[in-house]
Amino acid sequence: MVISKRNRNIFWLALVAVFIAAASIYSLVSSYASEVRSHRIVLLERGQTVLDALKAGILAHGRMGQYRGDRLKVIFEELARNPSILALELRGPDGMPLASGGQCEEISDAPQQRPRWEGNRLVLASHVDLLAECGHSSDGQRLHGQEDMEDWVPFSKGFYALTATLDATEVHQAIKRHRIQLAIATGVVTLALGLGTLAVILLIKRAELAAALARERERAQRQEQVALLGAGLAHETKNPLGIVRGLAQSIGDCTNHRCAIKDRAKDIVDEVDRVIGGINSFLLLARPQEAVPVCVHLDPFFKSFLPLLQMDSSAAEVGTLYVPCGLSVLADEDLLRRALLNLILNALRASKPGQSVRVFTKQVDSTVSLGVSDAGCGIAAEDLPRVTEPYFTRFSGGSGLGLSIVDQIAVAHGWRLRIESRLGQGTEAILEGISIVGKP
């Protein structure tokens, strides 16, 4: 598959643009994730500080493995007055609440060790063995100074659950702002990518259109020059050649001359016919083609057209193949015949004995491509851009006008002549953009 230069440019442009956009979006997402992580870490550290302060307060009021419930309540209520703290709670090893502060309805029924984000709240829990950390009497006897501790309750053996529920509204709003900023920035990057790519594509297309217009102007100027310089010469040469042909033909028809003279006269007639044919081709090229499209049924057209080439095909020992397609197209039948005649004769001339020339059709939506392919000598890459130039040929004895005429016929119809070839591997000459008008 041959990729055009424009498509390659667009491909590399799109690849670079996508890479830049992906890198930009990755940077934005990374920055967003970093900001979210930073906000959450700040709140997590604040919550851990609250838990540490709560634990320190409990241990400071404990005495030899005992505590007073009213003092624990004061500690919890004092800490819960902080606006950022929604609720505090202490549960015993049996799961029963021992002390709380703040909004008790915000307290989870099942405290967990891992921090949990619940909407605009952050719930943290810590499990502490208060009995081990507070200390207790080893022999269970009343110690000196313990007579005033009648209202104290001993800590139970096991882990107590400290739970703190913090207000995360500020963090949640900050994360929401960063999310909106990320969405806007991503949208801007995507929009810039799309607009930039579209702008470059339009610039490339504009450059290609300018190049195409320049080629068309060059073609028109070349055709005008050919017409001006050669039309008069061709006309003045054709008339004397007609007289020479007539004289030679009269000598050949005369019964008073010997066979050798008649043969030479016949050679003169053949040579004059060849020259006049070249002049006719030149005049056809110099005169702008005017297409009168009609409905042409391709299968009947080729059925009557290909036998006309049988003599040339047999002389070259090259077969001509056509597969019926059942399509009808809009074309000037006479000009279509001339175009195909030139394409097939070129293919026969390029082929070796025993090879075949294939005439094929390929439907593309509402149009059809009509092509002629061979497996012959092919065309060198450096010659491909010049094959439609008048008088350019690599064939010995060729006029160099055939493909120029075909190209002109294609332009007259609004078609496009595309030639693909590789040296030593054959050639495909394709008329593209032929409108389909129905089936025969």
Q: Which of 245, 262, 286 is the last residue of a domain?
A: 286
Q: Which residue has the higher pLDDT, 3 or 338?
A: 338
Looking at residue 256, its pLDDT comes to 60
Q: In 68-85, which positions are buried (b, 16+ CB within 10 angstroms) versus exposed (e)?
A: eeebbeebbeebbeeeeb
Asked whether residue 219 is assigned to any structural domain, the reply reads yes
Domain assignment of residue 433, given as a range: 294-438
Residue 260 within any structural domain of the chain: yes
388-429: per-residue pLDDT in tens? 887 777 776 566 777 888 888 898 899 999 999 988 889 999
pLDDT at 275: 67
Residues 66, 136: Cα–Cα separation, whole Å: 8
- Residue 434: predicted pLDDT: 94
| CATH at residue 383 | 3.30.565.10
Instruction: Give the E-state strand segments of 43-115 in sequence order.
Output: 66-67, 85-91, 97-102
* Whole-number Å distance between alpha carbons of 58 and 258: 143
Domain annotation covers residue 173 = no
pLDDT band at 137 (very low <50, low <70, confident <90, very high): very low
The reply to whether 29 and 124 lie within a common domain is: yes
Average pLDDT, the chain: 79
Residues 161, 27 share a domain = yes
Whether 140 is covered by a domain: the verdict is no
CB 167 within 8 A of CB 120: yes
| Residues 45 and 159 reside in one and the same domain | yes
Q: What is the pLDDT of residues 416-427, one digit of tens each?
A: 999 999 888 899
Q: Is residue 177 part of a domain?
A: no
Task: For residues 389 and 282, state if they share a domain.
Answer: no
Whether residues 23 and 160 share a domain: the answer is yes
Which comes out higher in pLDDT, residue 438 or 434? 434
pLDDT of residue 356: 93
Of 243, 259, 286, the residue that ends a domain is 286
Q: Output the pLDDT for position 440.
A: 44
Rounded Cα distance, 101 and 58, in Å? 14
The span from the CA of 195 to the CA of 165, in Å, is 49
Establish if 223 belongs to a structural domain.
yes
Across 2-27, average pLDDT: 72
Average pLDDT over residues 345-369: 91
Both 265 and 323 in a single domain? Answer: no
Q: Are residues 16 and 163 in the same domain?
A: yes
Count structural domains, the chain: 3
Same domain, yes or no: 15 and 121: yes
Work out the burial of residue 12: count CB atoms within 10 Å of its CB; fewer than 13 is exposed, 13-18 middle, 19 or more buried.
Answer: exposed
Q: Is 394 a member of any domain? A: yes
What's the confidence (pLDDT) of residue 318? 92
Write the pLDDT tens digit of every residue in 202-228: 887 888 888 888 888 887 777 666 665
CATH number at residue 159: 3.30.450
Give SS3 for 220: helix
Q: What is the dihedral of CA 276, 282, 283, 288, to 10 degrees?
A: 160
**pLDDT of residue 324 exceeding 50:** yes
pLDDT at 286 over 70: no
Last residue of a domain, one of 262, 286, 310: 286
pLDDT of residue 429: 93
Residues 324 and 265 in one domain: no
Q: What is the pLDDT, as a whole number, of residue 1?
A: 40
Under DSSP, the state recorded for 155 is P
Annotate 304-359 with DSSP letters as a single string: HHGGGGHHHHHHHT-EEEE-----EEEE-HHHHHHHHHHHHHHHHHHSPTT-EEEE
- 9 and 118 together in one domain: yes
Same domain, 280 and 301: no
3-class secondary-structure state, position 118 = strand
In a shared domain, residues 276 and 201: yes
pTM of the model: 0.43
Is residue 176 in a domain? Answer: no
Q: Which of 64-73, 307-316, 373-382 has the lowest mean pLDDT?
A: 64-73
What is the model's pLDDT at position 139? Answer: 41
Give the range among 144-148, 225-229, 313-317, 366-370 with minimum mean pLDDT.
144-148
Convert the pLDDT of each residue in 37-61 to its tens digit.
888 888 888 888 888 888 888 888 7
